Amino acid sequence: MENITLGTLASSVGFLAAFIGSCLLLIKYAKKIFQKAIADPITKQMVTNKKEIDDKIDKLIKDFNNKLNCLGEDQCKNYLVRFLADVEEGVNVSDLETERAYDAYDKYTNVYHGNSYIHSRWNKVMKIKK
């Protein structure tokens, strides 16, 4: 130990500091490389999965709205068929029921754009009713 001088000690500490610094720099660089190699593909896959899920949700919402629309149209048809049958059979319908039938017919033609046997039957029966 008697051969250790202040210059030798300083150069040893300097070497040790440089070695630790280069190890930390190497670890930081390796971390960036691994993060890019591992995290980027995972992130890309997550974005792809999210897009697929969003597309499936949009399709389900569209299908649901179409089915709901068909249900509403069917309810209008059922009500109008029943109302027109009552009028044809001479059943006494109130003014309120008639107003409701006009509302349903308006919705059937303007919202659901229905133009079928209901339309021709409506014109025929409602002319007779007046």
pLDDT tens-digit map of 55-68: 999 999 999 999 99
Per residue in 94-121, pLDDT tens? 889 989 999 999 999 888 888 778 888 8
∠ CA 116-96-69, nearest 5°, is 40
Yes or no: say if 89 and 103 are a contact pair by the CB < 8 Å rule: no
| CA separation for the pair 82, 107 (Å, rounded) | 16
* Domain extent listing, the chain: 8-129
The pLDDT-based confidence of 4 (bands split at 50, 70, 90) is confident
Question: What global pTM score does this model have?
Answer: 0.57
| CA separation for the pair 90, 84 (Å, rounded) | 10
| CA separation for the pair 64, 58 (Å, rounded) | 10
Tokens for 12, please give them: 């040893």
